[in-house]
Structure 1
Amino acid sequence: MPRIGFHASHEQISPRQLLADVQHAEGAGFQMAMCSDHLAPWSERQGHSGYAWSWLGAALATTDLELGCVSAPGQRYHPAVHAQKIATLGQMFPGRFWVALGSGENANEHVTGDAWPRKEQRVQRLEESVSVIRRLLAGETVSRDGLVRVHEAKVWERPDPVPRLIGPAVSVESAARVAAWADGIATLNQPVERLRRLLAAYRDAGGAGPAALQIHLSWAPTEEEAEAIAHDQWRTNVFPEPVSWDTAQPEAFDAMAEHVTPATVREHVRVSADLGQHRAWLAEYAELGFDDLYLHFVGQDQERFIDVFGEQVLPELR
């Protein structure tokens, strides 16, 4: 069976509480953790967005977990600054940190005042940024022009080992493309057949390294409560591309989500009061070939979820 990890959602929980939650998750038997990196939440009801990189230092220092982060270089973060952050955490906590480098969302990047590029430019900017970050982590001095401009940059901290640069991908096409540069792949829960094709596309394109799946789920003692939690917190996260990429403000997501039904949320979140059903879903994902499963309980109060899954779900999956 794959390793089971905890997802720390900065958009939904204050960084102080989230630090306590990840420590609690380690004690309950979760084997690793990952977090988001947002400047803004998806909804005003979520209401948070602590700085992930400060939090990562504290989480790595106060647990023994491996931790990862999904982050976007190129606009809000210059890739030289990104490389310095990656190198610092890698040097402080050898072998315990990875980062998934994505093309980003307008909700987090528009604050720079720069235009939000079209998708193909964002992908090219990401690939240029990854090249810069890899060269800097290898100790090179980097100068370049293009969508990403760098002048005589050098990162003086040299992590050993170099943290893995993971390729986040939601579509089959993206999975095949990130295989050219990634040390592994990370994706979200989707229909099983689509996940099977996504993994195959990554491997067939030469993609190496571990495959990770982040699973949005909602559990509560009753089906009604589990559904209400998911609908309250995650109905702004059901929109397809390009809406999720291009929308700039939480209030816009909230306005669009006014008519999203619980049934629609269930298409994106694994909702059930039945722990056996959650175990079955996770076992099905494991059979697809994922090495790591990160569980994201979409509610804001994590304590009950951590305790119950730690006692009744994780041991059976192992």
Structure 2
Amino acid sequence: MTRIGYHCSHEQYPPSRLLDNAKLAAQAGWKMAMCSDHFHPWSKRQGQSGFAWSWLGAAMEATALSFGTVCAPGQRYHPAVIAQAAATLAEMYAGRFWMAMGSGEALNESITGEAWIPKAQRRERTEECVDIMRALWAGETVTRNGLIQIRNARLYSRPAPGLAPAIYAACLTPESAEWAGSWADGMITVSQEHAQMQDVVGAFRRGGGAGKPIYLQVVISHAPSEDEALQAAATEWRQAALDKALLADLDTPAAFDRATAGLTPAEIAKSVRVSSSAHQHLEWLLKDAELGFDTLFIHNVHRNQQAFISTFAQTVLPHFER
């Protein structure tokens, strides 16, 4: 059966408030969670962007939730540093941590001042990072001289054998999903039209991912009224309506605010599921489950997380695996 998880949005909340949200989810009966890993928020309106790897240690200590995060080693992070961070979490919280790798977004990665390389090269760099991280978790001394430079690196604090974090691929398109099928332990994608998600899932399985777990981050706006839900989507998560190539290549929150300035709430509602009815959201989630997703991580962009967590714990969670 499909499971339900809670998405923790670093872009929208100070780290302390976000930790409170995670605690509320755990207390309400949610079992799984994931968080973003950004240097910048998508928009100045969102206003926050805490450091995910510090926050994850606090969240995993404060709750019994399993956690994952999506990151892009290779530019902002050296993969050896992320391998060490992930190994530390996996050693302390065995079996509770996974991570997903993507080719990155200029919004976060370009802060280093290095050139933002084309996507084909970023994919090649991602595969090198995956290889390095797995070798370090296996206890190897690692030297590489490809797109990633690493010399005589060895991790001394590692998770127990067989408990290294799973590495999923973060994919938005069928092309990315098919590329990732051969090397990833699983895939995570983002909610879009049913047929488009079906294409992404099919491509991942076709590319070598058959039988591997698949996760979905479901972006919704749930509020007491339809108007309030629509307004929250239009205020908080405008970038969801942009072309996927722009999501990767715009490099500042100000650039995203300019790119989304002319979008109408109706246009944004095509990319964010908007409804004041928890039962409507349940209907959509059950349809997602038909595509074979193992876990659906729900991100409600409306700021009243306490009401959302409680309502969905009562209305949605009982219909899925606990």
User: TM over 0.5: same fold?
Assistant: yes
Distance 2:248 2:175 in 1: 17
Q: Who is 1:139 aligned against? A: 139
Distance 2:174 2:259 in 1: 27
Q: Who is 2:213 aligned against? A: 210
After TM superposition, give the deviation of residue 205 of structure 1 in Å.
2.3
* Aligned-CA RMSD value: 1.1
Kindly report which structure 2 residues correspond to 1:66-77, keeping only aligned pairs within 5 A, or say none: 66-77=66-77
Conservation of the 8 A alpha-carbon contact between 1:279 and 1:317: no
Q: Who is 2:312 aligned against? A: 309
SS in 2 for 1:288: coil
User: Structure 2 unaligned runs (5+)?
Assistant: none
SS in 1 for 2:261: helix
Letter in 1 for 2:87: A
After TM superposition, give the deviation of residue 317 of structure 1 in Å.
4.2
Distance 2:95 2:132 in 1: 21
Conservation of the 8 A alpha-carbon contact between 1:42 and 1:237: no
The alignment's TM-score, normalised by the length of structure 1, stands at 0.97
Distance 1:11 1:84 in 2: 24
After TM superposition, give the deviation of residue 29 of structure 1 in Å.
1.9
Letter in 1 for 2:61: A
Letter in 2 for 1:41: P
Comparing 101-110 with 235-244, which one deviates more in the overlay?
235-244
SS in 2 for 1:295: strand
Kindly report which structure 2 residues correspond to 1:157-196, keeping only aligned pairs within 5 A, or say none: 157-160=157-160, 161-196=163-198
After TM superposition, give the deviation of residue 204 of structure 1 in Å.
2.3
Conservation of the 8 A alpha-carbon contact between 2:14 and 2:50: yes
Kindly report which structure 2 residues correspond to 1:219-230, keeping only aligned pairs within 5 A, or say none: 219-230=222-233
Letter in 2 for 1:314: L
After TM superposition, give the deviation of residue 28 of structure 1 in Å.
1.4
Letter in 2 for 1:257: T
Kindly report which structure 2 residues correspond to 1:206-285, keeping only aligned pairs within 5 A, or say none: 206-207=208-209, 208-285=211-288
After TM superposition, give the deviation of residue 172 of structure 1 in Å.
0.9
Deviation string, structure 1 residues 184-243 (Cα, Å, up to 9, x no partner): 110000111121122122122221431100000011111000101110001133211321
Corresponding residue pairs, total: 318
User: Structure 1 unaligned runs (5+)?
Assistant: none
Deviation string, structure 1 residues 151-196 (Cα, Å, up to 9, x no partner): 1111111212111011111111111111111111100001111211
Q: Who is 2:32 aligned against? A: 32
Q: Who is 1:47 aligned against? A: 47
Deviating above 6 A after TM superposition, structure 1's stretches of 4 or more consecutive aligned residues are: none
Letter in 1 for 2:262: H
